[in-house]
Structure 1
Amino acid sequence: MAQQAAVPRADRRLRRARYATLVSLATSGWASLLLPAVGVLREPDPVRAALGAVGVLAFAAAQSAVLYAAATPWLAQRRRRRFQACLAVVAVLSVPVVGPVAAGDWPTWAWLGASLVGMAPLLVRPPAALAVAALAVAVAAGVAGWTGGSLGRHLAVTGGVGTGIAVVNWFQVWFWDLLVEARQGQAAQARLAATEERLRLAREVHDVLGHNLTVIALKAELAARLAPSDPARAGREAAEVQRLAAAALAEVRETVHGYRTVDLGEQLAAVAGVLRSCGVRCAVPSLPAGLPAATAGELAAVLREASTNVLRHSRAGWCRIEIVQEGGVARMTVTNDGATDRGPDGRSDGLRGLTDRLGAAGGRLRVHREGAVFTLEATVPVAS
């Protein structure tokens, strides 16, 4: 099942859905256990009533553990098996302990059997679940014959009511599995987008370096051959190698820092697409008219870092991006909700690098957090 895979415990939306699933499962489980308590209250023998109460409470505890495991993806598989084994043992022991309670007056154990039928789809695959349901119905029929109770009543409770509980429980866990799979798909999309961006950068670096390094290698080989016979020309070739190496280094730096090919409009559209694929509402702002390329390059770097922080350091439901140009200054503001206690601060490596970079260009970076809302604001002088 999808719930066997790990999901982020800090995901607030998924955590709320899990709580709702647990409440729904607990409601149906405890409702089916209140009716066995009716049988305990109707039992005239105090010793048998006490034993029956112990059996019902033990069954309720084992059932709660199993229902908790059904909606807890990060729970170790070994603990799941222990919970299930405990439930199986308690269910077997409940037959002689709870079966005679209110014999002939109330189908006490039949209600426990209905709970077993209702939980079967959460524990095992459909064929095994049918086998468990059939066994529970057979035991209910045996208890009816043993205690002199109504066979039809026992079968109706264990088989009929149990089937209804099974349908409700199965739907709840099925819906929970869909939510977990959707969250995992969003995380995979974010990782894929980051991988594609790294591949794009790698291709650009390869394109920049490939040609220049080939020329440098040929020039260096030529200079080495000319050194004994024509030192003057060899010196000129060596100087050319030096110039080419410096030019290649400058181009690599431009590529890495996003000056050469990054278009701020395309970057905005790409970031908005990644955020939306991760369930974050985001609108693409219109760019100020006449924004110089150098200024746009600085803002593109800020945008990349800000979007990375939204994905890595928050559980955002919305993100707002604003870009305005006022006089000789361009300002980008990125605001998102869902900031966690482990979110970025002014001393984080990414923000510190951005602060240094913008400072060198005469700009400034500021961050602010108010509750769960995180705001990053960058100002950059408009280059002529």
Structure 2
Amino acid sequence: MVTGTRPAHAVSTPGMRQARWYVLAAAASGIAACVLLAALELRQEPDPRGIVLASLGTLLLVVALAGALYRSVPPWSAAANGRRLLAGCAVAVVLSAPLVGPFGATPGRGWAFVGAALAGAAPLLLPPRYAVTLMAGTVLVTAATAWWLGGPVRDAVTVTVVLGLCVAVWNVLHLWLWTFQAQAREGRDAVARLAAADERLRCARDVYALLANELSAIVLKAELASRLALVDGERTRQETAEMRALAASALARMREAVHGYRAVGLREQAHAVARGLRDSGLRCSVTQPKRDLPPALTEPLVAVLREAGAHVLRHDRARWCTIEIAREASGARLTVVNDGADDGPDIAASGLPALADRLRDAGGTLLTRREGGTFTVRATVRAGS
């Protein structure tokens, strides 16, 4: 069984939720195969009352397994629920074995097939040591049931062991693939967080390198000017003038640095947003003009594109997104569309309304529309704005 710590946000995307259902479907298919073989064995029972009792016993164990599997997949909850799951499955075994075992063409064989379903599901229900205990206990119950009813013990044990191991391998394979995908997803998120943290540290180092000397000099000159204020007015005015010059120089250098951080092209920003959406499990397409737009048009749209991309990422049900940038005769247009918007996040909680005011002041427009399960953000700017 594959175990590990819980990925922080691995199951928050549609793709991971679908993968979880695939694991559950795989487990259900293995249990269904065992139940089908048990039904073929039990249908040879001549007494209708025996068929009813055996069906009730099988249904009891299947319901217990279904509930336990639903609560145990993904695997990190298995350790916390291990004892309760083991106790619940043990009760189901104790109640179902007397109901299923006596009936069928061969005494004990019907329960051997049902026990194989429990043994095959054990790796999904419990950590390895508990899973082995449950599988071994199931085999012992199969042998004891066949011996008590006078059936072939070896045949019954062989059915439970071989069929149970086949189902267990089938389940473990799907669980391993799911866990690997969840860990890969969490790894991508961790890389993104580390990249953001590294960028913040780089920005902090640059700011320190730019302003440390100027600010230290300003502090020293301020202290000197305060001491000379009542003694030497001319020297005080000189120190104050130097302080103003240092502050102006620091401000100019800061503006230059900030401009370098903010000067991100619309084309690069569109690819960055699309890459982030794809890493989150969404299908994303980008349509852009062949030639770059003038800076006067791109700068207002960059902020809109960032906020629109963040709005899509906050939307758990979105599966696809399209980004379209078009040059118009009077300016440029940005359109971002995503699906799954029936119960999307509140627009007022995002930064889109504030951006609409900024575009309006600059002579542009920003419209948002929720219609037919899709959410659309359309921003336009004019060339003369």
1:226 touches 1:234 (CA, 8 Å); kept in 2?
A: yes
Alignment of 1:338-357 (within 5 A): 338-339=340-341, 341-345=343-347, 347-357=348-358
Instruction: Compute the displacement of 1:87 (Å).
Output: 0.5
2:317 touches 2:341 (CA, 8 Å); kept in 1?
A: yes
**TM-score normalised by L of structure 2:** 0.80
Which of 317, 321, 324 is 1:319 aligned to? 321
Deviations 1:45-89 (A, max 9, x none): 677665544432221211111221233568696556423320022
Measured at CA, do residues 288 and 332 of structure 1 come closer, stay the same or move farther in structure 2, by a change above 3 Å? farther
Which of 82, 85, 88 is 2:87 aligned to? 85
Q: Does 1:163 align with 2:168?
A: no
Instruction: Return the letter of the residue paired with 1:156.
Output: T
Instruction: Compute the displacement of 1:95 (Å).
Output: 3.5
Other structure's SS at 2:288 match: coil
Tell me what 1:114 maps to. Answer: 116
CA distance in 1, matches of 2:292, 2:97: 79
Instruction: Return the letter of the residue paired with 1:165.
Output: V
Deviations 1:183-237 (A, max 9, x none): 3334434444544454455445445543543343244234324322332453464
1:66 touches 1:80 (CA, 8 Å); kept in 2?
A: no
Which of 176, 180, 186 is 1:184 aligned to? 186
Q: Does 1:67 align with 2:69?
A: yes
Tell me what 1:214 maps to. Answer: 216
- Percent of aligned positions with the same letter in both sequences? 43
Tell me what 2:20 maps to. Answer: 18
Tell me what 2:174 maps to. Answer: 172
1:189 touches 1:274 (CA, 8 Å); kept in 2?
A: no
Q: Does 1:364 align with 2:337?
A: no
CA distance in 2, matches of 1:132, 1:21: 20
2:289 touches 2:327 (CA, 8 Å); kept in 1?
A: no
Other structure's SS at 2:166 match: helix
Instruction: Return the letter of the residue paired with 2:273.
Output: V
Give the total of aligned pairs. Answer: 381
Tell me what 2:294 maps to. Answer: 291
**TM-score normalised by L of structure 1:** 0.80
Instruction: Return the letter of the residue paired with 1:139.
Output: V
Tell me what 1:143 maps to. Answer: 145
Instruction: Return the letter of the residue paired with 1:107.
Output: R
Other structure's SS at 2:314 match: helix
Measured at CA, do residues 168 and 76 of structure 1 come closer, stay the same or move farther in structure 2, by a change above 3 Å? closer
CA distance in 2, matches of 1:328, 1:200: 39
CA distance in 2, matches of 1:196, 1:338: 33
Tell me what 1:300 maps to. Answer: 302
Instruction: Compute the displacement of 1:107 (Å).
Output: 1.0
In structure 1, runs of 5+ residues without a counterpart are none
Measured at CA, do residues 194 and 333 of structure 1 come closer, stay the same or move farther in structure 2, by a change above 3 Å? farther
In structure 2, runs of 5+ residues without a counterpart are none
Measured at CA, do residues 286 and 326 of structure 1 come closer, stay the same or move farther in structure 2, by a change above 3 Å? closer
Larger RCO, structures 1/2 (Cα 8 Å, 6+ apart): 2
2:75 touches 2:124 (CA, 8 Å); kept in 1?
A: no
CA distance in 2, matches of 1:370, 1:248: 50
CA distance in 1, matches of 2:195, 2:91: 49
CA distance in 2, matches of 1:334, 1:46: 64
Deviations 1:255-294 (A, max 9, x none): 66x67652314434433433333334344735744613x5
Other structure's SS at 1:88 match: helix
CA distance in 2, matches of 1:186, 1:170: 24
Measured at CA, do residues 359 and 225 of structure 1 come closer, stay the same or move farther in structure 2, by a change above 3 Å? farther
Instruction: Compute the displacement of 1:331 (Å).
Output: 2.7
Measured at CA, do residues 89 and 52 of structure 1 come closer, stay the same or move farther in structure 2, by a change above 3 Å? same
1:6 touches 1:73 (CA, 8 Å); kept in 2?
A: no
